[in-house]
C-alpha cells in the first residue's frame, strides 16, 4: 500500500496568491466594470460616426440587427381574445379586458379604455410595473379618455401580470430582477428581452390603430413608464412613422449610465448585447426629434437624474 509522506504545510501568508488575498487589492488592479467603462468611452466616437447623418437606413438596420427587431410587415397579426363578461362601465368610458397573443405561446394581458365619443386619437400605455398601477378609476389612464382618447394598456411580456414575483435563485433578484434567468436563457438563444418586447409594442400599436376606430385609423401615441421605456423607444425609433408622439416617464437615461455604475438595479432585461458598439438610448431618442418627450429620466439604480447622493 502507498505510504503517505510527511508534507510541508504552508503558512497563511505563503498560501496567499496575492499579497492581501484579493486581486482587486493589488496596485493597478482593474475590475470588469473598469474595463467596460473604458471600452464604452472608446466606442463613443464610433457611435457618433454612425449617427452623424441622423437616422440613416444603415443605423436603423444596425439597431434592428443587434436588438433582434423585425420589420412590422414581418410580424404576425395578433390574436385577440376578449374575456367573457369582462366589460366594466365607468363614468368616462367603458373598460374591456382582453388577452393579446402577438405570437404563438405569448399572451399579453390588456385593458381597452373606450370613451363614449372617440376622437380618433389613441394611446398605447405601457407601465414597467404593470397596467394595473395606473388603471384604477380616476387614475392617469382614465383621465386620458376625458378628451375622447382611446387607451390600450398592455402588460409586455415579463411585466405586470406576467412578471414573476421571484426567481428560483432569489439572491440575484434584487439587483438583476426576477426575470434574470429567462433573460439569460434568451441571450443564450440569440435573443434579447428588449427586442422581443419592442416587437410586442409594434404589434399592439398596429392593433390599436384600428381598435375602436371610426372611418379612419386611429392616430397612435405611445406612453411608456419605467422599465417599459427601453423597449418602447426601440420600437418607436424603428417604426417612427407609426407613432404621432412618444412620452417616456422615469425611463433609463442611457446605457452609458449603466456602465458608470458598478451596482445597478433591475437592468438585465433592459440590455442588448453589443449595443454600445453602435448606439445608445440617446441615439434612439434623437431619431424621434420633436415627437418625443422625456419626463424624469432615471439612472441605472432607478434614481432621478441629478438627485443628490
Instruction: Please tell me the predicted confidence (pLDDT) of residue 39.
Output: 96
Interhelix angle 193-208/229-238, nearest 10 degrees: 60
| Among 83, 153, 143, 80, residue whose Cα is nearest residue 115 | 143
For residue 307, what pLDDT is reported?
A: 57
Per-residue model confidence (pLDDT) at position 224: 99
Q: Predicted confidence band at 308 (pLDDT cuts at 50, 70, 90)?
A: very low
CATH of the domain spanning 57-295, picked from 3.40.50.1820, 3.10.180.10, 3.40.462.10, 3.30.70.2740: 3.40.50.1820
What does the pLDDT average to over 245-263? 96
The pLDDT value recorded for residue 1 is: 75
Domain segments of the chain as ranges: 57-295
Show Cβ contacts of residue 74 under 8 Å, excluding neighbours closer than 6 positions. Answer: none
Lowest mean pLDDT among 103-112, 136-145, 298-307: 298-307
Q: Cα(168)–Cα(21) distance, rounded to whole angstroms?
A: 32
pLDDT in tens, 16-61: 889 888 899 999 999 999 999 999 999 999 999 999 888 889 999 9
145-162 pLDDT, tens digit each: 989 999 999 999 999 999
Listed in sequence order, the residues at least 6 apart from 195 whose beta carbon sits closer than 8 Å to its beta carbon are 67, 68, 69, 231, 234, 272
Amino acid at each position: 500500500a502507498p505510504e503517505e509522506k510527511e508534507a510541508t504545510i504552508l503558512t497563511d501568508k505563503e498560501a496567499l496568491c496575492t499579497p492581501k488575498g484579493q486581486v482587486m487589492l493589488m496596485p493597478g488592479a482593474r475590475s470588469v466594470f473598469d474595463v467596460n467603462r473604458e471600452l464604452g468611452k472608446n466606442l463613443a466616437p464610433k457611435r457618433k460616426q454612425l449617427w452623424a447623418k441622423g437616422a440613416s437606413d444603415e443605423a436603423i438596420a444596425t439597431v434592428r440587427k443587434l436588438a433582434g427587431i423585425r420589420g412590422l410587415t414581418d410580424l404576425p397579426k395578433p390574436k385577440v381574445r376578449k374575456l367573457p363578461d369582462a366589460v366594466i362601465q365607468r363614468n368616462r368610458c367603458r373598460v374591456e379586458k382582453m388577452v393579446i397573443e402577438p405570437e404563438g405561446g405569448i399572451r399579453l394581458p390588456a385593458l381597452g379604455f373606450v370613451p363614449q365619443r372617440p376622437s380618433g386619437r389613441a394611446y398605447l400605455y405601457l407601465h414597467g410595473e404593470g397596467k394595473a398601477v395606473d388603471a384604477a378609476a380616476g387614475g392617469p389612464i382614465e383621465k386620458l379618455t376625458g378628451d375622447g382618447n382611446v387607451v390600450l394598456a398592455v402588460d409586455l411580456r415579463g411585466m405586470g401580470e406576467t412578471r414573476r414575483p421571484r426567481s428560483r435563485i432569489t439572491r440575484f433578484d434584487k439587483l438583476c430582477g426576477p426575470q434574470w434567468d429567462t433573460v439569460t436563457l434568451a441571450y443564450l438563444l440569440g435573443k434579447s428581452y428588449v427586442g422581443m418586447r419592442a416587437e410586442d409594442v409594434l404589434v399592439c400599436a398596429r392593433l390599436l390603430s384600428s381598435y375602436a376606430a371610426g372611418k379612419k385609423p386611429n392616430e397612435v401615441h405611445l406612453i411608456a413608464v419605467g422599465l417599459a421605456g427601453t423597449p418602447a423607444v426601440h420600437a418607436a425609433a424603428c417604426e417612427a412613422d407609426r407613432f404621432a408622439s412618444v412620452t417616456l416617464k422615469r425611463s433609463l437615461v442611457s446605457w452609458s449610465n449603466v456602465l458608470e455604475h458598478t451596482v445597478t438595479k433591475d437592468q438585465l432585461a433592459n440590455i442588448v448585447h453589443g449595443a454600445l458598439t453602435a448606439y445608445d438610448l440617446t441615439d434612439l431618442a434623437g431619431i424621434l426629434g420633436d415627437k418625443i418627450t422625456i419626463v424624469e429620466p432615471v439612472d441605472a439604480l432607478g434614481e432621478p437624474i441629478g438627485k443628490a447622493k
